[in-house]
Amino acid sequence: MKEKLDRDMYVLELASGTEVLSVQLTGKVKMLEATDFSEKMIEQAKLRLYSSRLHFSVQDATALPYVPEIFDAVIISNALHIMPFPEKAKRESVG
């Protein structure tokens, strides 16, 4: 996956959880918006200092507030199987 990302890309990560993947990818992109449905997960993520290119927010993957096509890539890792409406999340993420 890292090979497909570049420094000019704006990337959205859905269900970022403990932000492990987010942190690994931040240096490969222009900006990464890491989201999770859990306020607790995002609160924990914000306790650590990261790159200014990494932003965290609480979002519902089935009702995203972003304008269509603002992100160059959307990443979701190991989360669709726990979402109540995974197909809706996939449709929402492609704008």
Q: What is the pLDDT of residue 50?
A: 76
pLDDT computed for residue 93 by the predictor: 73
pLDDT for the residue 80: 67
- What is the structure's pLDDT at 18? 77
pLDDT tens-place string over residues 26-73: 999 999 999 999 999 999 988 887 789 999 999 999 999 999 889 999
| Burial of residue 14, with CB atoms counted within 10 A of its CB: 0-12 exposed, 13-18 middle, 19 or more buried | buried
- CATH 3.40.50.10860 assigned to 2-93: no
The predicted pLDDT at position 91 comes to: 77
